[in-house]
Every structure is written in structure tokens, then in C-alpha cells.
Amino acid sequence: MRGLRRGRAAMAAVGGNSPPEAKDGEPQREVMPDPDSQWGHIENSDTGRARRMRGGESWFLVDQDWYKQWEVYVREGDEDPSTIPGCINNAKLFEDNINWQLKKGLVEGEDYVLLSTTAWNLLVSWYGLERGQPPIERKVIDWRGICEIEVYPVELLLAQHSDMDTTHTAQFSQTDSIDLVLRTAQDQFVVSPQEETRLWVKNAEGSFERLCNTRVSLRDASLKSGQLVVMETRSKDGTWPSQQTRAASSAAKEEEEFHGQPGICGLTNLGNTCFMNSALQCLSNVPQLTEYFLKNQYLDELNFCNPLGMKGEIAEAYADLVKQAWSGRHRSIVPNVFKTKVGHFASQFLGYQQHDSQELLSFLLDGLHEDLNRVKKKEYVEQCDAAGRPDQEVAVEAWQNHKRRNDSVIVDTFHGLFKSTLVCPDCGNVSVTFDPFCYLSVPLPVSHKRVMEVFFVSMDPRRKPEQHRLVVPKKGKISDLCLALAKHTGVSPERMMVADVFSHRFYKIFQLDESLSTILDRDDIFIYEVSGRSSITENTREDVVIPIYLRERTPARDYNNSYYGLMLFGHPLLVSVPRDRLSWDALYHILLYRLSRYVTRPSSDDEDDGDEKADVEGGKNIPKPGNVAGGSSQDPGPEQAGPSSGVASGSRARDSSPGPSHWPQRHGASLVHPASVNSNRTSDPFRSPPSPPAQPYIAIDWDPEMKKRYYDEVEAEGYVKHDCVGYVLKKAPVRLQECIELFTTVETLEKENPWYCPNCKQHQLATKKLDLWTLPETLIIHLKRFSYTKFSREKLDTLVEFPIRDLDFSEFVIKPQDESAPELYKYDLIAVSNHYGGLRDGHYTTFACNKDSGQWHYFDDNSVSPVTENQIESKAAYVLFYQRQDVARRLKTKTQPGQSNPPAPPACDPISESMDIN
């Protein structure tokens, strides 16, 4: 019998695959080799049980009792046919014969043995597998260099978002990827792979968490058996069902029947978010970028591990917006999820303050790039100087180094290359480098003139203050402002004092040599006419210029109402008082004369009544003209009158002229009452008046009843406009090409940003020149309309003339050009971000050309309307988007493959074959 079995073995062919099927459906068994050969095949170290496990491969569980019986059969050589093992039977390892789940707590060597795939296939080919039983295949897990069999796989409950009560149980290895779970769910619920889906897992707390990175394993995602995994399918309108609130769901139902042009979709203003809406509309109308998201190409390139990125969340949030806007199912969408994501990763955009659309655009492009960066591990790359090498060689090297760390759809679409040249002013050392850029920030030609609005206050009380609009040098001085006003008024500049009036007081009184840059456009500037008898020379000064404030007495909220509160009102004055008339009586009459246009001079009886009433209401704390004279500031400081007053600020402390407290006292009643003022120009009732310095500040206090009877508030606030107010400084329009020329002009570095010369071994204010070496597929041009300095901020509303079509950059690109493909340097406009208004308030809108229809539209938050090309150019244009003409032709060929157009020329290869911009 033993020889007979060995004879059969000579005819047996030993295979490592599953046995072929017989005619009746049963596995076709192979002729068994002799027992010794069986043992050698199953237990050898190359393919059998003794071979070393490797991570990721499959091994099989076999019932221990069956294997022991087989082992006795092949080792002892028992020729009794009854000892021959039958089909492999693993029934003892299962809980039941329906679900075929393994029993809990099975132990290797006691309940089962492990066989490699080859050994398992051999045994099945010789003996077969019990009918109906599934093979118990398990994967090998390599856990930090230690391989082990995963006997009990992870059992997940799969469900759909639309029906989470109906679940399907599926088994996975801990080493399986989340992507396998997703594909299994798609197969189970018959969802096409073309439909975009995503997974959520239910935690122990009952909350759901996104499984964003589908490339990680179940172990890395910390998925355990019994957890519910929900698959969500994106709706036809581009939204996710999980993100729809009840209100949004109702609105979605209302728009179910709406079918519009894809891309013609407004964005709701969430509160000063027009800057964000404008940037999003511009970026959404960049054809190749939008197609990238609509075709789900971004899903394979999401970079969840980039420490410089945002865990893919910005890219996903932007993709959601694009899919909704280009679904054609919405008139307008609410970008609240995107706004929240932006605020989470960029705290400067938290809240609902107004911001800059270009700043948001810069953040978004950088965030999308890092979230979609194909480089998973960035290597250190040192920037190399040209060191005399040819530009072409250095440019190729620079671009290759850039792509070693940065490779994304943003780089493909928006990145170009500068040539930067620095020259040391001392040793003449020249440094040439090539640097990538994402957009061009080009300056606007700046006028050297400035328009300032001021109020001129004449010494003639009959003349109302005049509003003037003056054209002065932008870098001029206060004296230039006086000279400009003198041409309008005929008053000599020597008879003028310039002051900043704020909250009914002098915030600052300027000196003639101070710079005009310290005055902001929003400041209220008053220029006062003073006596011409004032002189800068200390010994020849004949007049004293006194600042005058007006205050009204109001009852203070004191428990016994024992004193009065005081409140400033009206416009302050600068009054010239002759030195020889420096007395209260003279000052009283001078003030009444200067105020005569809006203050009625009372009769003597009215004055007595008013003064008597003030004495009764105010008690002892009300200063009377007979015992309290004018006061002055404790700290004259730089806000005192400058040289134009005839009083030098540095000499006032040495002035020996008698102050107000030494003036002859005026006895009798008065319409108004003088009072001392402190450095805040307010009285302190509990402190005695300080000793007055040379330059007094006089506060004139009014009783409410007297003010009501004799002070005309309407007349006091009245002013007239000079003819010059109607004049507008015309700004000639500039061409966009002029701005680009300015961008490439040689400039000297600022003191705050010097360059370290490796030859001189010190920082130098070198000259710098930027040149355009290569340009990207889509060129973003930022017009620098906002100017910020230490003392001033302004917006340039210059009209920039920019072409809609055929913007030619061939004269600006210094790289040797391909003369046979001129379209590589020509661009067409596709979008414009507009800013209307000034610095403190403004509004952003967008002009954009739809990539499908070619029609221009105006996007103003929710509102979208068609426009013509002649409406696009305006003073509000802020950020321009241009697309290279060869790219437009290439995209058109892709969308219309049936046309017999000649193939588009190759995309601009800025640096030979190695600079892969496209």
C-alpha cells in the first residue's frame, strides 16, 4: 500500500494555487504525493509553515485536530485507510455555519495552526475543503518590525448618511487603508466611483468625525471593531447633506428646480466679508484651477501631513465652494464654512472686520498650495548665487530647487520666476539670484502733490470761516500750506497759525518747519489769522497770541449739587492781544468783538442779572471775574503756539511778561467767566489754579441760561466754501505697462531692509533691480493703490488703463524668447477685483469672464449681473487676473475635442524641459 501511494505521487503535479474546478463544481484534487514529500512541502522553511512571516501577506488558520491527524498520517506512515485525513474541516473554529464568525479566545497551537498561502493551497489541492466552509485567511501585520497574524480582523458597521439605521458588517485588516473601506461601502450601497463620497466614524461619545485621509490604515485611524462608519455622497448641487441646516435644506428644496449657468452664482456677505467674496469669485473663474477641483483631481493630491499646510481643510473647503458655485443649482451660496476655516488658520481674518482682498488671496493661494503639495517631505535646498554663471543655467537650477520643495497645481498655474540683481554701493559686488513669485505687486506712478482741505478763520469777526482746498507738495512743510492759502486769501503767511482742532480744543498747534506728513487726511485743520505785529524775536514781540476755549457749565451729579461740571463746545480761537493791553477789561472786550458774529452783546442790566444768578446757583465755588482771572496749561509742551504766532516755543518759559493772574482785575458783572484750565483744558474745582506760565490758555465759561439767550449755535457753526473747493486735481490716467516698468526700475534698499554684502562683510543699502524671467499660465497683477507711511495713509484712485485682450509681455521678459510662438507672451483678462471707497470704509466687487460662455459678469456679493467689456475698466480696479493665450486655446481644445483645430503649441517652457511650470 505504501508503495502504491508513492507510485501515485510520481504522477502528482504539486501546485501552489487553488485547485481547478471539476465538471460537477467540486474542486479538482491533485494526486497526493507520498507522505514524506507532503511533510517536506508543508513544513519547509522556504514556502511552508516554517517560512518567516512578512508584513502584508496572507496566512491561513487550520483546525488543530485536523492538522494533528494529518501529521500522524504523514509522519508515522500508517497504511490503514481510515487514518487518512478527509477534507479540511475548520468547523470547531466557527461560532456557527451561517455567518462563519470565529470563536473568541482561540489560541494558536491549541485550537489552530497557521499555514502560509503556498502550504494552504497544497493541502486544499490534496484533501479539499469541507463543502460550504470559507477559508480562514488572515493578514500579517508588521508592527514596528514585529510580524504577527491578525487573527481577529476589524469588523465595521457600514451605513449611508441617508439611512444610518441600515448597516452592513464588513471585515478589514488593521493594515487596510481607509480607501478600501470607502470602496467597500461604495460597492455595498451601489454608489458609482464617479460620485464623490466621504466617510464619517461614530466615536464612543456619540459624535461623528471625518475620516479625511483615506490613505492611512485602520490602525492609524484608530478604528475598532463595532464602530459605525457612515458614507456620505455629495449632492447634485455641490453641497454635503451633513452641512445643511434646516434653513439651508428648505432653501435647497426651493432651488431644486433652479438650473442656471454654472459659475454664475453670488456669495452672501456675512458681515464685511465682501473682500473675501471678491477674491473667491476671481479665483473661481480661473479655468484650469476650477476644472482641477470639478474633476476631483485634488482628492489624490490632498496633503494631510504637511506641517506648513492646513491638514487639507482649506483645500476641501474651497473645493466645496467651487462645486456649489459651478453646479448650476444655486443663485447664491453662503460661505460660512469657508469663513470659519479661514479664521481658524489665519487669526487676522477672525471676526467681521473689513480686510484686503489681495491679502486674503495671498493667504488662500499659499494655503491651497501647501494643502495640495505633491512633495510629502521637503528637503533642505540652499539658494545659490549666480557667481558669474550664465543666467539660463542659474534659472534652471533655481526652478528645479523650487520644484523639489514645492509642486502643486498652484505652482503649475500661478508661479513664475524673477531675476533679482543686487549691487553693492561700496565695492560694486553684483549678486544675481532667481526667485519664484506667485503674483506681481506693481506700484502706481505717485503724484508729488497733495490736496488738503483746511478752514481759514479771519480776524474780521464778520467773516465766517472759509473752507479751502489747497494743493501742496506731498513732502512739504507747514509753511507751504500757509503759502498756498495766502494765494487764495491775500493774507500774508506770517499772519497765520495752523492748528489741529479735535473735540472743541487744540489737539496740536504746528510750527512752520514741521512736515505736512504729520497731518492725516481725516484731521480737521484750522488756519487762524493773527496780528501782523507779532515777531519771532523775543525782545521785539508786541502781541501775545492766546488760545481760547469755550465751556458751558452743567450741573454735576453730586449728592448736594455743590459745584458745576464743565463741557467744551464750539470752535476754539487764537486771539491776538496787544502786550500793552494785557488786562481783563481789554481781553473781555476783544473776545466779545471776535465773537460778535454769533454772540449778542447784552445790556448792562442783563449782565448784572446773569452774574447775580450765577452767584446764587454756583455758590462760593463759582469763580467771579473779580477774583479769578484766566488760567493756563500746566505743561505747554509741543502743542503750544509755534513761531508763526510770533512767540517762540522755547522762549515762553523765560517770558517775564505778566501772566493772567497778574492782570488788573475788572470789577463788575460779565457775560462770561474766565477759569483756569489744566493740561486737559478742563477745570479742577478742588484745586487752586496753578501758577500760570508765560503762554496762557483761557477757558471762557458760560452759564447755560446766558448761553441760550446770547449765543447763536447755528451761526457759530456756519462756514462758507471758497471757490477752490469745487476744483479737483485731475489725475491723468496711466497705462498698466507703465506700472510694470516702474516695477522693474532700479531702486535703493531702505534702511530697515539692508543687504549683507559677502564681499564687504557688512550690511549695505544696495541697489536692487527685478526683472521678469518667466511668467505663469495665469498672471495675477496687484495694483498697489494703498500707501502706508509712518504719518499718513492714502488710497490712490488713479485710473489705470489695462487691456482686455493681447496684453503683451514680450518687452518685459528678459529670457531669450521663442519667436515662433508669440502667444506665449500674450495674455487676456479673465477677472478683476474692484475696491470702491476710501481707507476706513470701502466695498469689494468682481468682474469675471465665465469660462464656459465667455460672457463677463459683475459679482456684488449676492447680486450677479451681465456686463459688457467697456464697463470693466475703472478707477476701482485693484487686482487683475490674466490668462496666457496658449493656455486658453489648449483648454478650449479639451472641452471641444470634436473640432479639427490644430494642436495648441506646447505650454510655455520657461526654462527648457526642466522648468515644468505647466
246 touches 331 (CB < 8 A)? no
**Torsion angle, alpha carbons of 408, 413, 419, 420, to 10:** -70
Where is 231: in which H helix or E strand?
A: strand 228-233
**All 3 cell numbers of residue 565?**
461740571
Cα angle 173, 175, 176 (rounded to 5 degrees) comes to 70
Q: Name the nearest CA neighbour of 362 among 292, 417, 440.
A: 440
| Cβ neighbours for 330, distance < 8 A, ≥ 6 positions apart | 237, 238, 255, 258, 260, 265, 324
Where is 588: in which H helix or E strand?
A: helix 584-594
Where is 333: in which H helix or E strand?
A: strand 332-333
Where is 647: in which H helix or E strand?
A: none
824 touches 886 (CB < 8 A)? yes
Burial class, 261, CB count within 10 angstroms (exposed 0-12 / middle 13-18 / buried 19+) = middle
104 to 58, 88, 89, 111, 152: CA distances (angstroms): 21, 21, 18, 11, 9
Where is 880: in which H helix or E strand?
A: strand 877-884
| Cβ neighbours for 313, distance < 8 A, ≥ 6 positions apart | 212, 341, 344, 345, 371
141 to 217, 464, 513, 540: CA distances (angstroms): 11, 92, 81, 101
* Alpha carbon distance, N-terminus to C-terminus of the chain: 76
Residue 579: phi and psi, rounded to 5, are -60, -35
3 state SS of 493: helix
List, as one string, the DSSP characters of 262-300: TT--EE---SS-HHHHHHHHHHHT-HHHHHHHHTTGGGG
User: Which sequence positions are flagged as catalytic?
Assistant: 274, 843
Q: Name the nearest CA neighbour of 675 among 684, 686, 666.
A: 684
Q: Name the nearest CA neighbour of 156 among 130, 131, 129, 178.
A: 178
**All 3 cell numbers of residue 225?**
471593531
209 touches 167 (CB < 8 A)? no
Burial class, 264, CB count within 10 angstroms (exposed 0-12 / middle 13-18 / buried 19+) = buried
Q: Report how far residue 344's alpha carbon sits from residue 346's, in angstroms, rounded to the nearest whole number.
A: 6
| Cβ neighbours for 668, distance < 8 A, ≥ 6 positions apart | 607, 625, 626
> Can you list the positions of beta strands (E) in 703-855?
720-721, 734-735, 747-748, 755-757, 762-764, 767-774, 778-784, 786-788, 793-795, 800-801, 807-808, 826-837, 842-849
Q: Name the nearest CA neighbour of 781 among 882, 871, 875.
A: 882
Residue type at 656 in one-letter notation: S
List 143's β-bridge partners, or say none: 146
Q: Report how far residue 383's alpha carbon sits from residue 428's, in angstroms, rounded to the nearest whole number.
A: 21
**All 3 cell numbers of residue 528?**
487762524
414 touches 439 (CB < 8 A)? yes
378 touches 401 (CB < 8 A)? no
